[in-house]
Structure 1
Amino acid sequence: MRTTSLLAPLLAANLAAASPVPAESPAEDAPAAAPRVVSITYSGKGCPSASPGVERSGGDDAPSLRLNAFEAQVPGAADAASVHCQAHLQLQLAGTGTAGWQAAVRDVAVRGHLVLDPGASLDWYVTSFWSEDADKTSTLRGTLKNEGSSRLSEDVTARGTVPAAQVAWSRCTTSSGYVGLLNVNFRVALQQAAASQHGYFGKDPDTAPSETWGYVWRRC
């Protein structure tokens, strides 16, 4: 087993924005303190609420989610080829200078164990939006494909950055410091060139799927 970062020969990443946002560059500055996660819940087959399926680590400014129940597989059940986990986070700024900020998800990394027969592929998507402006979304997506002649089985890490003009911004904070309810959805879909091809994305004895993202800020 080996770990591959970015999978340069196999990864074709691009971005689609369901609702374009103004073509403005994010500011380089940020609030004095990272946003506090007031609450976090999860939904989706990849993170069932009935089990300890998600472990959160990392600081509030760069959350990381370990998805212990996240597994997609083909051949398999009709709904096994595509799996998703959506995190819902209420974010709050604290301290002085909390008014006049907007936040967005900018940098994303996803990781897991991937098994693909030759010709099979995995599409991955990370979509973010704020419940207060749910029509504005941004989606990073990529494809991992086995173009070789033997089965691929390895840990993979794929990274992406949302272009500045296509991020989904929160509303402008007021003196309360409330940033908003952020939704981040991670989804994978396995594709087969033939029905007998095997594909899997999930965990191995040493690795569970995970996602990490970082915020960018601007004055408003």
Structure 2
Amino acid sequence: MRASTFLPILAAAASSALPTTSGSSSSSSSLTPRDAPSPPPRIASISYSGSGCPSSAPAVDRTGGFDDISLRLNSFEARSSSPADSTINCQAHLSIAGSAAGWQVGIKDVSVNGHLVLDPGASLDYYVTSFWSESAEKTVTIRGSLDNTGSGRLSQDVTARSTVPDAQVVYSPCTGAKGTVGLLNVNFRVALQADGAQYAYFGKDTDTAASESWSYVWRRC
């Protein structure tokens, strides 16, 4: 059964996702898409870790380069019926190089997609945390919640988008003459909230899989 109230609930949840920071981050003014080096840097290498992207299977399909990356998480499934699987994560580790000198970059916008099933009263919390290995004490976490406040089970594909405020963006080290940007870590985690009588699920179905993508903001340094 599909509840017609779900989409407004989803939109409100996505738009109210609030970043939380650990450590300090530099403030910055609003930047436009033109404020970026050209051409963009490249992903020199990428690896994955976490319960939602096991190395025993082709768990992640990447499309796009640095500036239009998207990750399809083929093994990312969380279920409230199994306590061990009610919270799972997948962390991507990206080595980024080839930038012009004198720039810093950080994640600005995040989009999360997947198939969601929630019994009445159940909910899903999602978290996207990013940091640079060169300054791992500085992190930013985007958190959002998707709730079923209706009377019937919800079962549909969902998209949630969130934005990091300018003052809370975590920036890379300043690129030098060699163009090395750094090692970017992006961790996506979901946690299902349901009692013993409720069912909740997030992941793939016949036509879709969980996925995430993000975009950046640049500044001179």
Q: Shorter chain as normaliser: what TM range? A: over 0.9
Paired residue for 2:27, among 10, 23, 26? 23
Are residues 5 and 48 of structure 1, via their aligned partners in 2, closer, same or farther at CA, if it must alter by over 3 Å?
Answer: farther
CA-based RMSD of the aligned residues comes to 1.8
Structure 1 residue matching 2:167: 3-state secondary structure? helix
Which sections of structure 1, spanning at least 5 residues, go unmatched?
none
Contact 2:26 2:170 in 1 (8 A): no
CA distance, structure 1, for counterparts of residue 75 and residue 25 of structure 2: 34
Query: Deviation per CA, 1:13-45, whole angstroms, max 9, x where unpaired?
Result: 211111231222254310011110000000001
Determine which of 140, 156, 159 is the counterpart of 1:157.
159
What SS class does the counterpart of residue 148 from structure 1 fall into?
Answer: coil
Three-state SS of the structure 2 residue aligned to 1:75 is coil
Distance 1:45 1:5 in 2: 31
From 118, 134, 137, the counterpart of 2:136: 134
TM-score, normalisation: structure 2: 0.92
How many corresponding residue pairs?
215
Give distance in 1, aligned partners of 2:8 and 2:111: 10
Cα distance in 2 for partners of 1:177, 1:5 equals 44
C-alpha contact (below 8 Å) 1:6/1:159 kept by paired residues: no
| Distance in 1 of aligned mates of 2:197 and 2:106 | 41
Stretches of structure 2 lacking an aligned partner (at least 5 in a row): none
Match of 1:213 in 2: 214
Quick one: distance in 2 between partners of 1:71 and 1:4? 22
Amino acid at match of 1:200: Y
- Within the candidate set 71, 79, 82, 2:84 is matched to 79
The aligned counterpart of 2:67 is: 61
Which region of structure 1 is more displaced relative to structure 2, 18-27 or 163-172?
Answer: 18-27
Work out whether residues 78 and 85 of structure 2, in 8 Å CA contact, stay in contact via their aligned partners in 1. Answer: yes
Give the 3-state SS of the residue equivalent to 1:113 in structure 2. strand
Equivalent residue number for residue 52 of structure 2: 46
Structure 1 residue 59, shift from structure 2 partner: 3.1
Instruction: State the TM-score, normalizing by the size of structure 1.
Output: 0.93
- Rounded to whole Å, the distance in 2 between the matches of 1:88 and 1:24 is 25
